[in-house]
Amino acid sequence: MAFNTIEFLLFFFVFFALYYIFPQKARNVLLLAGSLFFYATNSLPLSLYIILAIISTYILGLLIQKNSQSKKACNALLSVGVVALVAALAVFKYTNFFIRGFNSIFSKDVSQFNIIAPLGISFITFSAISYLVDVKREKVIAEKNILKYALFLSFFPKVMQGPIEKASDIIPQFEKEHKFQLIPAREGFVTALFGLFMKMAVADRIAIPVNEIFGSLSEQTGARIIAGVFLFAVQLYADFAGYSLIAIGSSQILGFNIKQNFRQPYFSLSVSEFWRRWHISLNTWLKDYIYIPLGGSRCSKARKYFNVMVTFLVSGFWHGADVGYIIWGGLNGAYVVGENVYRDIRKKKEPAKANAFLNFLMQAKTFILVGFSWLFFRAQTAEDIALSFKQIFTNFGLKNYLDYLINLVVGKSHDALLGYLVTGFCTFIMIVADILITNKKISAGKIAQGNRFLRWIILYALIFMIILLGAYGFGYNASSFIYDRF
Amino acid sequence: MTKKEIKKEVFFVIIFLLIFVLAFTALTLLYYPKRSPEDSTGNLSNGIYLEDENSIDVLLVGSCNMYTSFNPLFFYENTGITSYDRTCPDQNMISSYYYIEETLKRQTPKVVVVDSLFVGDKDTDEREAYNRCAVDFMRPNLSKLGLINALSKYESAYMQSINPSNPSKALTWAGYVFPLLRYHHRMDFKKEDLTFFLDYTGYNYHKGSESHSNYNNINFEYDFVNNSTEVREDAKEYVPKIIKLCKEKNIPLIFINTPNKYRWNDTLTSAVKNYIESQGGTFLDLYHEYGDMLSHDYYFESNTGRLNVYGMEVFTERLGSYLVEKFSLKPTPMSDAKKAQWQSDINTLYAKMKEEGAPLEDGQLAQVCNKDDSILVRWNLFKDCKNYELYKRSGAEKEYTLLGKIDGNDYYDKAVKEGEEYSYYIVPCEGAHKGEKSEEASYVFVEKPKEVTATRHGEEITVTFAKEKKYDSFSVERRKYGDFRFFDLATVEDVEYKDTALKEDTVYFYRVMNCIEKDGKTYYSDGTACKEN
């Protein structure tokens, strides 16, 4: 049940009504029942995974705390938990990757398996690992109430694609009373609506040309592939940031606060800054549980660069079992290391905001560098990556592409032109909103508390833009959220 | 929050929702595609809402095969008995059931006739589009809701089996209940969208039928073979329901098939017949019963294999006689005003037939056109004459010369030169009309394109049909796989055409004809077709 479906809308509406009708004491039970129902609508048999994950890590958390005096026992218990979680992740996500690797290295033909991974397995794995590590580090007390612990892992707004919340941030919220509060609920509604707009009117519209280009790479010219890569950069942002806003907004309506996962990352002045503003919860997790344990930046420069590279490679591998993700991770690691080396040599700090033009150039540079890396992320397989580069270097076809664009404007395909104009308009709205949010001119909170007339105009505009301009139903190949599969 | 604040907030929420509903409704009316009441994809049969209560004696439901076979106006003209075709394209048994259920709330027909093609005919990837024809112009009522619920179940399952990203059952259902969710992507707004903003239903003089005056076009290269042999799952649920409903209402019911060149075959007929009879229904095999009609090309409209208006006349007369006799139907008593309305509708039909310009009288030339490397001359036979003298003259000649005595109704004249105009007429050799000269008909011979290629490059297909420009223009037609006919795409002067109006996952076929302009008239060669590659 994806967030951009009628089914979710109905589910959430009914759940919202029940949630505030139910007495306070019963609300966590309802929340867990709703979360497990939400999870089971994806696949009932695979729901067993999350139940096993909840029970096993709940017990392990208690055991780690109980044996906190014995470092050896704690480490052993933590290792059992981490190995079990990573092993499950490996089986579901990486089995075929290793088979393909084995076949390729040893020229064998071992059949791949038709494996469907449980919903949000990567997010659940990281959340559970962070919990066990934090219990072991005594940063968090092991949760005795299994209901609250189960909600930590399965809370439906975040179970599919995060954000990856820390136990210390979310579990205390299950202990609080949640009375209906008008202003936060309004704020959540605005946030979720804007997320839905980003997903349906921007990401899913851009997905149409992107899917076409990457679905038939051998027929595309290099110019079209490059256009496709940068369109994908926008699509991925609108898709994943849109999802995160729906998760944050729907949580807020129910009285929960989930941390921001994106802070207008394409306005970053450097790649390093980009990674502090993109998928914040994952990058915070990687920093806390990979980068810092490796030594972080409090070591030699060479070691620090090594730590950065390892962290980004883990990020790439976490995203998927294909060469493309690993190259993507490595490339971004190299960008960040490069920036660090440059700054270390020039003894400069990270670029701060300068004049508007210089900022724009820096932002453009960051967008181009990050955008290029998405080529590997989107193409995924070694074959498609090689094909993309082959087309770029041997069949660039700039004139052909310009002719196509000119024909689009002056030719007779008005429907196609209108389609692109609508997509451009929706993207423009998203960018303007991002600029206003960055400059603190507008926020969901301000809209929720501000003038009713203005609020209604914004709400109606968002609702009708989603209904009229959203890519859904017949005529569109509705896209699932891209991060569903991670 | 205080109680006062809560009341105030609830008030504003209600106002917010009311404005939303108003805006949503207005946009729905704007986005709803406005279709003519005479268009089979529109509200062809929903004019029944405007008929008086209990004024219909025979109710006919079904697909295009029904609305192009039985014409209530001909039936009324012959017998004085009223009837209505409650039909829509590709009407499945679900729609048939709910159409009957809804109609029986206002009408008390003496017999119900159901076209049974979709008891067995396979689903197509255009299922949703046809279901839309069934639902869109129905008035809001419980039958419509029942139809939407049932269609959503079968349609979403079928459409998702074709493409998993097709809309889910919930979105399908919502799209029927709130059509704005279905038509939101429309950008082709026209003047009619505002003209018919509030009222897009209309009186249907045709009583739900649709008549076409054109002939079967022998140029058509048709690749459709109906290999359906099994009863559909939706029919298994709804045929028994139709039988039960009519039994409960004590209304006689018969299922029929119709003469059709492509859609029916022996296997399908047996499967459908056996199933309906196993459910206690009555099946009338008119595909075989009226099989003699299949040998008359001029009973069938171009390309679709369905009856044209002349076949419709014959079919209506035959089935009408059967119904009158079998169910002892009597002319309906009605007011003079009502009679005048029916007569006016009949006059409108004949005026339309005349306007469409297909006299099709026996003993007249029916078709003179280019076919491959010859001019094809076809004529309608007198019932008492098999042999005809065919006369010809070229543009340069003053006098006609006898080409020969022909046994049959067509002749392929290969003695023709490109760009030259030829005229023909026939004279019957025997029978009551012996020696009566037919009207003359002329055509210019144009060679057909030697080769046509269609090559896809991403989002466009380039159709190439000549190396050099030798003709005044080229007529380009297109169809997609499964279409019954080619549709006009463009007339161009260049030797190639770039088609950019393409749908995803669709294979296209093109047909091109060379054209010569002469005396303000365009003459077309035979077509050369190809599939995209």
End-to-end CA distance of chain B: 68
| B42/chain A closest Cα distance in angstroms | 19
pLDDT at B372 over 90: no
Would you say residue B417 has pLDDT above 70? Answer: yes
B253 or B460: whose pLDDT is higher? B253
Asked if A452 has any chain B CB less than 8 Å from its own CB, the reply is yes
Q: Which helix (H) or strand (E) holds B463?
A: strand B460-464
Instruction: Report the run of H or E that residue B518 belongs to, with start and end.
Output: strand B508-518
In chain A, residues with a C-beta closer than 8 Å to the C-beta of B459 are 212, 404, 416
Residue B25: its pLDDT value, please?
A: 92
CA A39 to CA A118: how far, in whole Å?
Answer: 9
* CB nearest to A219's CB, from B171, B458, B504: B458
pLDDT score recorded for residue B483: 60
Pairing of β B487-492 and β B473-480: antiparallel
SS3 category, B70: coil
Asked if the Cβ–Cβ distance from A220 to B458 is below 8 Å, we say yes
User: Rounded to a whole number, what is the distance in Å from the CA of B184 to chain A's nearest CA?
Assistant: 5
Mutation target vs B (from A6, A213, A477; most B CBs, 10 A cutoff): A6
Cα dihedral value A343, A344, A349, A355, nearest 10: -20
Question: Is residue B178 left, alpha or beta, with left meaning phi > 0 and alpha meaning psi from -120 to 50?
Answer: beta
**Average model confidence (pLDDT) for chain A?**
89
Whole-angstrom Cα distance, residue B161 to residue B237? Answer: 20
Q: Which of the pair, B35 or B56, is modelled with greater confidence?
A: B56
Gap between the Cα atoms of B25 and B29, Å rounded = 6
> B428 and B434 in contact (C-beta within 8 Å)?
yes
Whether residue A297 is predicted with pLDDT greater than 80 in this model: the reply is: yes
Predicted confidence (pLDDT) per residue in A323-332, tens digit: 899 999 999 9
H or E element in which residue B310 lies? helix B309-327
Q: Do B16 and A476 touch (CB under 8 A)?
A: no
Residue B282 has pLDDT above 90, yes or no: yes
Does any CB of chain B come closer than 8 Å to the CB of residue A470?
yes
- Is pLDDT larger for residue A14 or for residue A323? A14
Q: What is the DSSP string of B258-296?
A: ---SSS--HHHHHHHHHHHHHTT--EEEHHHHTGGGGG-
**How far, in Å, are B369, B523, B527 from residue B442 at the CA level?**
9, 10, 19
Task: Calculate the dihedral angle through the C-alpha atoms of A138, A140, A142, A145, rounding to the nearest 10 degrees.
Answer: 170
Judge contact between A179 and A437, C-beta under 8 A. no
Average pLDDT over residues A185-212: 94
Global ipTM: 0.83
Quick one: tokens of B218? 């022998």
The pLDDT, as a whole number, for residue A478 is 43
Instruction: Name the residue in chain B with its Cα closest to that of A452.
Output: B12
Catalytic residue among A178, A279, A319, A414: A319
pLDDT digits (tens, 9 = 90+) for A44-100: 888 999 999 999 999 999 999 999 888 899 999 999 999 999 999 989 888 888 888
Name the B residues in 343-362 with CB < 8 Å from any A CB: none
Amino acid A371: pLDDT: 94
Cβ within 8 Å, pair B182-A473: yes
Q: Which residues of chain B are within 8 Å of residue A474 when distances are taken between CB atoms?
A: 128, 166-167, 175, 182
SS (H, E, C) chain A: CCCCCHHHHHHHHHHHHHHHHCCHHHHHHHHHHHHHHHHHCCCCCCHHHHHHHHHHHHHHHHHHHHCCCCHHHHHHHHHHHHHHHHHHHHHHHHHHHHHHHHHHHHCCCCCCCCCCCCCCHHHHHHHHHHHHHHHHCCCCCCCCCHHHHHHHHHCHHHHCCCCCCCHHHHHHHHCCCCCCCHHHHHHHHHHHHHHHHHHHHHHHHHHHHHHHHHHCHHHCCHHHHHHHHHHHHHHHHHHHHHHHHHHHHHHHHCCCCCCCCCCCHHHCCCHHHHHHHCCHHHHHHHHHHHHHHHCCCCCCHHHHHHHHHHHHHHHHHHHCCCHHHHHHHHHHHHHHHHHHHHHHHHCCCCCCCCCHHHHHHHHHHHHHHHHHHHHHHHHCCHHHHHHHHHHHHHCCCHHHHHHHHHHHHHCCCHHHHHHHHHHHHHHHHHHHHHHHHHCCCCCHHHHHHCCHHHHHHHHHHHHHHHHHHCCCCCCCCCCCCHHHHC
Q: Nearest by CB to B500, from A413, A452, A471: name it.
A: A413
The shortest C-alpha distance from B8 to chain A (Å) reads: 12
Higher pLDDT among residues B276 and B170, named by residue: B276
Distance set, CA B229 to CA A5, B126, B274, B281 (Å): 37, 20, 12, 19
Residue B280 CA, chain-centre distance (Å), reads 31
Look at residue B244 and give its three-state secondary structure.
helix
Q: Which residue has the higher pLDDT, B488 or A151?
A: A151
pLDDT of residue A212: 87
Q: Does B182 touch chain A (CB under 8 A)?
A: yes
Residue A412 vs residues A416, B64, B474, B495: alpha-carbon distances, Å = 9, 33, 18, 18
Burial class (CB in 10 A: 0-12, 13-18, 19+), A346: exposed
Inter-residue contact B192 to A28 (CB < 8 Å):
no
Left, alpha or beta for A187 (phi > 0: left; psi -120 to 50: alpha)?
alpha
pLDDT digits (tens, 9 = 90+) for B42-77: 556 678 888 899 999 999 999 989 999 999 999 999
pLDDT confidence bin for B216, thresholds 50/70/90: low
A456 contact residues in B (CB cutoff 8 A): 16, 19
Instruction: Judge whether B150 and B104 are in contact, CB under 8 Å.
Output: no
What is the Cα–Cα distance from A311 to A298, expressed in whole angstroms? Answer: 15
Averaged pLDDT, B139-167: 88
Q: What is the pLDDT of residues A16-49, one digit of tens each?
A: 999 999 998 899 999 999 999 999 998 888 899 9
CA B85 – CA A116 distance, rounded (Å): 50
pLDDT value, residue B219: 45
Rounded to a whole number of angstroms, the CA Rg of chain A reads 23
pLDDT above 60 for A481 = no
Determine the average pLDDT of the residues in B469-476: 90
**A14 vs B: CB within 8 A:** no
Residue pair A351/A413 in contact (Cβ under 8 Å)? The answer is no
Q: What percent of chain B has pLDDT over 90?
A: 47
Chain B residues close to A418, C-beta within 8 Å: 187
Q: How far apart are CA B172 and CA B187, in angstroms?
A: 21
Question: Could you give the 3-state DSSP secondary structure of residue B62?
Answer: strand
Nearest to B393, CA basis, from B439, B438, B441, B436: B441
Residue A106 vs residue A243, higher pLDDT: A243
For residue B356, give the amino acid letter.
E
A319 is a catalytic site residue: yes
Let me know: does B422 contact B519? Beta carbons within 8 Å. Answer: no
Q: Shortest CB distance from A7 goes to which of B23, B163, B168?
A: B168
Rounded to the nearest integer, the mean pLDDT of chain B is 86
pLDDT-derived band of residue A413, with 50, 70 and 90 as boundaries? low
pLDDT of residue B285: 93
Give the span between the Cα atoms of A307 and A296, in whole angstroms.
Answer: 6
Instruction: Work out the average pLDDT over B74-90.
Output: 92
Phi (first) and psi of residue B500, to 5 degrees: -110, -10
Per-residue pLDDT at B343 exceeds 90: yes
Question: Residues B462-475: what's their mean pLDDT?
Answer: 87
The whole-angstrom distance between B85's CA and the closest CA on chain A is 29
